[in-house]
Structure 1
């Protein structure tokens, strides 16, 4: 077992996000132990319904699926200020890891996120990890892959709904 797997805290409804996709529900365990500011941002945006209907605009086979940009261009975000990087050496980018997407500036994360299809050790210590898929990774695997340059998806799959587990009745 890798260190990041051993360090994952137990799941509680207060620290779980339900990401509903076209094929089913993905459960993401939030990691406030690694990235408290990013987790707080995700919780805020989930409560606002910000992610609902946003596209997975960049999806690269064998790497990751990126979403959370309402414009679908890869340059958009929420109206909230950007978040400073919360890099750590305690966790690693493994299959199912959820990270904060950003521009070249390490402190430019806002609302965009990506879910890993496979391990990517080159991202360790370079991007903030704020979650881990604990159920429904098979639904992430079904997200439409990009066919444009740099994995850009034409007619992308979209988030159906993304909420905190405590705010979902079904």
Structure 2
């Protein structure tokens, strides 16, 4: 019996300790808290991949821009899109559009990318969170973050284009600013 417990402990440490270590290793200046109706989602920012996009997201977050904005386009098994103050998918912030910062980072479940028009240099404030892998997006959209905790809350966002009763961002904040 003790041999079984030892094996179980080794397997558990291999599976669970890395996940816990990753959450505790987050840099508060490069971590976002995204509060949804069902709870808090923690996002690791990726300035190593997209420094201008990360700076834009932090600027808009600190200005309160995202608070109260709806998820206007939510496609099952694909992604949830938000960041448009008009709620139509055509709006953005008053700041100028950003040049693309494409990378080789894969668009996997939990990855966050910047939305844009057909112009690669048109990203502004809208972003999307991946529900599932989408390899066809790699190198075509800018990856700027990834969900590290709370993906099960993202999964609960109401689907639709637009959803009949859309979910919204209750509050978004940079972890370094959280009280």
Q: Please, what TM-score do these two structures have when normalized by structure 1?
A: 0.90
Distance 2:144 2:164 in 1: 27
Q: What corresponds to 2:174 in structure 1?
A: 164
Query: Once the 2 structures are TM-superposed, how far is the Cα of residue 11 of structure 1 from its aligned partner?
Result: 2.0
- Give 2:122's aligned residue: 108
Give matches, 1:24-43, under 5 Å. 24-43=39-58
Matched, 1:142 2:152: no
Partner residue in 2 for 1:56 = 71
Give the Cα separation in 1 of the matches to 2:164 and 2:86: 13
* Displaced runs of 4 or more, over 6 A: none
Larger radius of gyration: 2
What's the C-alpha RMSD, in Å, of the aligned pairs?
1.0
For 1:127, which of 141, 156, 179 is the aligned residue?
141
1-side partners of 2:103 and 2:110: how far apart?
17
State the shift of 1:154 in Å. 2.1
Paired residue secondary structure (2:60): helix
1:16 to 31, 36, 46: 31
In proportion to residue count, which structure has more helix?
Answer: 2
Q: Secondary structure at the match of 2:71?
A: coil
1:29-86 Cα distance to aligned partner (Å, 9 max, x none): 0000000000000000010000000000000000000000010000000000000000
How far off is 1:153 after superposition?
1.6
d(CA) in 2 for partners of 1:19, 1:113: 13
Q: Work out which of the residue numbers 128, 151, 164 in structure 2 matches 1:154.
A: 164
State the distance in 2 between where 1:77 and 1:163 align. Answer: 18
Unaligned runs of 5+ in 2: 1-21
Residue deviations 1:7-30, cap 9 Å, x none? x9x521110000000000000000
What's the counterpart of residue 85 of structure 2?
A: 70
SS at match of 1:57: strand
Cα distance in 2 for partners of 1:15, 1:167 equals 11
Gaps of 5+ in 1: 1-7
Tell me the SS of whatever aligns to 1:40. Answer: helix
